[in-house]
Structure 1
């Protein structure tokens, strides 16, 4: 089966979509590079970076949601507004999104994007408190967040796709860190290869190794049974 199909069967389709994770990584890298320019300039560089990223990647509902949430967070930090909570930011993003692109509210990507983040904000702490009694805190936090996301996206998946993969609760907690490591490793390898061309073959070998580990892990999770409706 194809890699995309394996991701879907493992409950990991959301990882293939450009969304908050990718935008946060790009924004974080920009912040690290520009932190010596002063807070105001750092905020401006961050905002410019995420807008540029979205301009190149395209305005998918999930990516536009991430853009709105990031923009609101950056401007609140710039204005030193600390009273807004993550749920307030998501709610403001939802309202602005519906005003600018009302047709998006009927798209599956829109529902999954907002549903996943809302589930994490509302339920991840609850599930983490339950899990922390039996698993290490770091694992409990990751699985709790994944369970929170699945709690609101599962009904959408069942309605739109007719399937639900419970293994996504565990696979997301395992594969997401690997994807993050893969992205950061790719950026680091790219920079090093430009500076020292002789390093390129070693970098390519390492990236292929990490990619192989991710794909094999995804295919392992894809073997778990899913429910069809």
Structure 2
């Protein structure tokens, strides 16, 4: 954390504040260690649900914390530094998160401003975190609070020396993938968080299909870090080594890609997992997620910039809470891997129902069937993107990336087509058939077990019951079971 704060001072308010917040968080979390796991779970769930409800009711918004020395209607320009790399929205507008330090009124009055606000518009080229910029325009209200509609802009100071190195590395990697190719736009978004027009189209399709949580970068980065660490330490028997490598890899990503909220969440989650392994507390995944949310809000408040971050947290909580129980029931009628994918996808879709309605006014229950396929496809695209960084000219990797991109588009379009409805009906029929087959096999197994027990009962009675000897305890239990 201290290393990230040193490299990215715009993310953290200062070392003293970090120490104070960390100490306060530790004092609040230490009493939780003395509770049993079940009681800790009961304490964690209300905290997460309460935070979700607060955000859904729009009572907690970092963007609305922007303060101006005069009326908002008089503000005509703001000046500050970018908290994170800018991105392109689905309407081809530049979106920048500006930490303000100065503002100007329409009559020329200059005053100091504080807080973070989103500026929409801006230059066509993507800007990087740490860039000092002045944006002219006006304040308007939006879904996630107030934002600044930019009509003119000017880059005042470029990023610092470290940011130059980071920008050079990220630009070099993006150029190797090919930023103008639509199929490469999704891996660029998944790895580096830069939403180009091609990736914005995919995000819009995912939102219309009710599968936006599939593209949640925080979950993808975290899953990749953990999978890569397990692969690298496949022959290692020490779980702590795996956690340490995950932490080192996630911090390295923050240094190269920038302080995105998804990467910060991954760093905190891996840090909590490492502390859990060292202290041997035994936190569940749900408890780790809740602690991650609390620490991210406390230490990195600017990284919680909108409802989409909460969308990712709620989707993960749905996987851990609802998906686990659904998978336990589905395992009885289908293979374990398939049951886990469907159960986790259903948990994410059900948990994000309110957030989906909050985002676009529509909820899509049919996306429960699409989520497992889409999530595996997205993770494969991220893996192919990493492989293309090493071998950018490999024909097989380019072909795989193109096929996965087309397949992902077909999955999201499948939602409203006749084929999607036919697939849902076919899936329900196959699920019913699997249930009947599973029930028949279970019934045959119970009948065979009953016949075997009856044979053992008769055999035991024939050998010992006729001689007047007392029957063994297990035979007496068998006789009692069948007599009932």
TM class by shorter chain equals: 0.7 to 0.9
TM-score, normalization by structure 1? 0.78
Deviation at 1:90, TM superposition (A): 1.5
Match of 2:213 in 1: 14
1:169 and 1:67, CA in 2 relative to 1: closer, same or farther beyond 3 A?
farther
Residues 20-67 of structure 1: CA distance to partner in whole angstroms, max 9, x if unpaired? 222321343245336679956654432121012234444444443333
Deviation at 1:154, TM superposition (A): 0.9
Match of 1:64 in 2: 264
Q: Distance in 2 between matches of 1:36 and 1:126?
A: 32
Which structure is higher in strand share? 2
Q: Distance in 2 between matches of 1:159 and 1:206?
A: 35
Q: Distance in 2 between matches of 1:120 and 1:110?
A: 16
2:403 paired with 1:209? yes
Does the 8 A contact of 2:217 with 2:262 survive in 1?
yes
2:415 paired with 1:221? yes
Does the 8 A contact of 1:87 with 1:118 survive in 2?
yes
Match of 2:346 in 1: 147
Deviation at 1:107, TM superposition (A): 2.6
SS at match of 1:84: coil
> Structure 2 residue aligned with 1:93, among 267, 292, 310?
292
Does the 8 A contact of 1:87 with 1:121 survive in 2?
yes
SS at match of 1:122: helix
1:28 and 1:140, CA in 2 relative to 1: closer, same or farther beyond 3 A?
closer
Match of 2:249 in 1: 49
Q: Distance in 2 between matches of 1:177 and 1:168?
A: 14
Deviation at 1:146, TM superposition (A): 1.4
Does the 8 A contact of 1:185 with 1:207 survive in 2?
yes
Q: Distance in 2 between matches of 1:58 and 1:3?
A: 23
1:51 and 1:103, CA in 2 relative to 1: closer, same or farther beyond 3 A?
closer
Does the 8 A contact of 1:61 with 1:109 survive in 2?
no
Q: Distance in 2 between matches of 1:66 and 1:114?
A: 12
Q: Distance in 1 between matches of 2:247 and 2:262?
A: 18
1:184 and 1:102, CA in 2 relative to 1: closer, same or farther beyond 3 A?
closer
SS at match of 1:144: helix
Does the 8 A contact of 2:246 with 2:270 survive in 1?
no
Deviation at 1:73, TM superposition (A): 0.8
Does the 8 A contact of 2:213 with 2:315 survive in 1?
no
Match of 1:28 in 2: 227
2:211 paired with 1:5? no
> Structure 2 residue aligned with 1:73, among 273, 288, 296?
273
Q: Distance in 2 between matches of 1:156 and 1:215?
A: 23
Does the 8 A contact of 2:253 with 2:263 survive in 1?
no
* Structure 1 unaligned residues grouped into runs of 5+: none
Q: Distance in 2 between matches of 1:116 and 1:16?
A: 11
Does the 8 A contact of 1:124 with 1:146 survive in 2?
yes
Residues 119-169 of structure 1: CA distance to partner in whole angstroms, max 9, x if unpaired? 222211222234345544332221111121222211122123212122221
Which structure is higher in helix share? 1
Higher relative contact order (CA 8 A, sep 6+): 1
Q: Distance in 1 between matches of 2:261 and 2:416?
A: 26
SS at match of 2:217: coil
Q: Distance in 1 between matches of 2:303 and 2:416?
A: 30
Aligned-residue CA RMSD (Å):
3.1
